[in-house]
Amino acid sequence: MNGLAKGLSVIRAFTRERATLSLSEVASLTAMPPATARRCLMTLEELGYVMRNGRQFLLRPKVLELGAAYIDSMNIDFLTKTHLEELARNTGDSAALCVLDGSDIVYVARTSIRTLMRLEAHVGSRFPAYATSVGRVLLAGQSAAQLQTYLETAKFEPLTKYTVTDAQVLRRAIEKCRRNGYSTVKDELDYGVVALAVPVHDRQGRVVAALNSSSHSARITVARLVEERLEMLRAVSSQITRDLAALPNLSLSAGLSSDS
């Protein structure tokens, strides 16, 4: 199992910004001895998950099978086709469903009518929770102890000049989200991105995902976003919650931690 953990760590070292890595870079990013990193890369290459180009290594499409099992188990097409596409058509923008994974949010479904922003997300995209509307919704659904741990351990880096990086200011924003039942961000994750998010609950009332609608901040204000789309988002969220209760095989429980 230790070997499996190391292999997965090597796979996670590759990102959109680091599409190709040398052996020394993999070893540095994973905090492994070069010999261990080399054995992991050789095994992954033999299994078809990694290939090499000279001294550089890169992922192969077979890696998508790892994420596909999760997406398939959620019956994500059902959510996308019946809910997100309708929401995107009604708003003329993008709609997405995200879960919390550690200190990041992960897109598990997304539909977009227009592409206006430099930061274009897709299924599998990861972003820091603190700078996103969905992240604050998901953090608001955590227990007091979980939130405290997050605020004490997460690294808050300024992604734009508007990004909230003060833990206490962020806590107040999350508490406001918990009271109001929604969160908004503007130009915090990237310039031009404005978004509104609401929670999605399971049959026990736990927050298991977050649903958002995003647009360009030059096109719509935060106030208009809330006025025009909040009730629409809440209605779709309620429908997804009902679907989760009605279909046992439709689960978003990966967004839950063990003590939530």
Q: What is the pLDDT of residue 225?
A: 94
Round to whole Å and give the CA distance between 8 and 30: 10
CA-CA-CA-CA dihedral for 197, 202, 207, 209, to nearest 10:
-50
Q: What is the pLDDT of residue 260?
A: 35
CA 95-101-102 angle, to 5 degrees, is 140
Output the six-digit token pair for 76. Answer: 């994500």
What type of residue is 51? M
What pTM, to 2 d.p., does this model score? 0.71
Q: What is the pLDDT of residue 21?
A: 94
Q: What is the pLDDT of residue 15?
A: 86
Round to whole Å and give the CA distance between 113 and 131: 23
Q: How far is CA 132 from CA 105, 141, 148, 212, in A?
A: 8, 14, 18, 10
Q: What is the pLDDT of residue 256?
A: 39
Q: Is 195 helix (H, G, I), strand (E, B) or coil?
A: strand
Round to whole Å and give the CA distance between 218 and 222: 10
DSSP 167-186: HHHHHHHHHHHHHHT-EEEE
The answer to whether 87 touches 233, Cβ cutoff 8 Å, is yes
What burial class does residue 57 get, using C-beta atoms within 10 Å of its C-beta: 0-12 exposed, 13-18 middle, 19+ buried? buried
Round to whole Å and give the CA distance between 225 and 215: 9
Q: What is the pLDDT of residue 196?
A: 97
Q: What is the pLDDT of residue 259?
A: 39
Q: What is the pLDDT of residue 257?
A: 38
Within the chain, which residues score under 50 in pLDDT? 249-250, 253-260
Round to whole Å and give the CA distance between 189 and 127: 8
All domains of the chain in start order, with CATH? 2-63 (1.10.10.10), 74-255 (3.30.450.40)
Round to whole Å and give the CA distance between 59 and 52: 9
Q: What is the pLDDT of residue 254?
A: 43
CA atoms 44, 46, 51, 57: torsion sign: positive
Q: What is the pLDDT of residue 113?
A: 72
- E strands, the chain, in order: 20-22, 50-53, 56-59, 94-101, 104-112, 126-128, 183-186, 193-201, 207-216
Q: What is the pLDDT of residue 198?
A: 97
